[in-house]
Each structure stands twice: as structure tokens, then as C-alpha cells.
Amino acid sequence: MSTGRNIVVLTGAGVSAESGIDTFRAEGGLWENHRVEDVATPEAFSRDPDLVLRFYDMRRAAIQTKEPNAAHHALARLEAEWPRRVVGGTVTLVTQNVDDLHERAGSFNLIHMHGEHLNAWCRACEMRSVWTGALSHRPQCPQCGARALRPDILWFGEMPYRMADIYDAMHNADMFVSIGTSGAVYPAAGLVRIARDNGVQTLELNLDPSQGSDLFDESRIGPATRLVPGWVDEMLAGTK
């Protein structure tokens, strides 16, 4: 298998699972304890903002106790070393995850398409602020003083972030790799079709075959902490 210069990697909850962060759709996952429509929609926020803010306060606190795992570290290593192996080569990491484990592992060229737990978004002035504490006590926005902060997390029915940048990266991609995502949520789940339409090499690394598994040129099944470092080693050794 030959490799191109520009790699786009899409990650989902499976990458952070071995760091102890629940995936969304597995038994015992996030939505088992809270129905999605109770916490992750604009309507839920209008109906019961206390419940929604407390729920995200709990998740925000929890992720700060977690550490990046071998998969996060391997992807950061790929981003750092790939341009040394392939002149002009880039690695763009597009994540559906709202934790900060990719950046804590050292990834820089990173797009959080579903938002970030450690940001608050002011509905009065529209500014984003880094936020590690709680929001349920209605703190003031550091920029404008309004008590109108919400989690900077995409809710169902809202537009994912930075789609123009994502489509741009896909347009320039020579290889597309999907890691730890069920392929259940669009537009992320549709990126593999864009890659295929552009004749781009595609690879999936996942614990189970995803919903669009047969769209990939190759699908490797196993835990991210084993598969991702192995794939990165292959890429950097030039054996794949």
C-alpha cells in the first residue's frame, strides 16, 4: 500500500475509551444514564438548563482526571514526525471528541468538530473562554459579564464546527483514517465517502466494524492503544 503526503485522521470516542472516558453507544455508555434528548439538545437546555449544566459540569470535571493513552500519543508522534519523513506532508486530526486528550498528548493540527468541554460559550456576546470549572451556578462571562454561558459542545440539531476547514483538508488528502468511531453520526460518518469519491486511500481502526466499515479499503479490528501505535510505526517506517 503506498502512502500519500497529506493524511486526515478522524477520531471518535473509541480513542479515549481506554483512558476511561465512556463511549456514547456502548452498553453502559453516556446515554445509558441520561437520555440524549434530556441533555444534548437546545430544547433540553431551554426546558431544564440546571440538569443540562450539571450534567456537563460532571463530564467536564471527569475528563480532567483522565490521561491521554498510547493512541493519543501515537497520533501526536505521527503529526510531529510525518513531515520529516515526507517533505511537505501534513497530518490533520479531526476529532468528534470533546475531551482534550489529543492536545494534551501533543497534537496541534487539530479540529474539534463537536466542540470542547473545556470551553464556555457566551450566548450574550458569542465569545468563547477557556473554562475548567462549573457552569451550573451561572458564572459571569469573563468577556462581557453576562450570566449566559453554555458548554461549547455541539448539541443535536446544531452545525458542527469548522466544516469548511474539514472539507478543505479532505480535498487535499491522500489518505483518510478513521479511528474509534461507530460511523453513526453525520457529517463525520460521511467523510469516508468523500475520500472514496476522491480516490483517496482509506483505513479504519476500530474495536468493532463501524456502520460504514465496508466503505473502507482496509479495516483493522482491535483496541486503539494497540492498533494506532502499530499503524503509526508502519507509516513512519515507510512499510505501508
Q: Which residue ranges are tagged as binding site for substrate?
A: 56, 59
Cα separations in angstroms, 219 against 15, 94, 215: 16, 19, 9
Residue ranges of the annotated binding site for Zn(2+) are: 122, 125, 141, 144
At residue 236, φ and ψ (nearest 5 deg) are -75, -25
Report d(CA 132, CA 117) in Å as an integer. Answer: 8
Sequence letter at residue 179: I
Nearest CB to ligand OAD, comparing residues 98 and 141:
98
Quote the radius of gyration of the chain (alpha carbons, Å): 18
Nearest CB to ligand OAD, comparing residues 107 and 181:
181
Nearest CB to ligand OAD, comparing residues 5 and 25:
25
User: Between 113 and 152, how does the x/- string for binding to ligand OAD read (CB under 6 A)?
Assistant: -x--------------------------------------
Q: Kindly give the interhelix angle for 224-237 and 70-85, rounded to the nearest 10 degrees.
A: 10
Report d(CA 214, CA 237) in Å as an integer. Answer: 27
Among 9, 141, 224, 232, binds ligand OAD (CB under 6 A): 224
Considering only residues 58 through 117, tell me which ones interact with ligand OAD, judged by CB under 6 A: 96, 114
Considering only residues 161 through 220, tell me which ones interact with ligand OAD, judged by CB under 6 A: 180-182, 184-185, 206-208, 210
Size of the site for ligand OAD (CB under 6 A): 25
| Active-site amino acid positions | 114
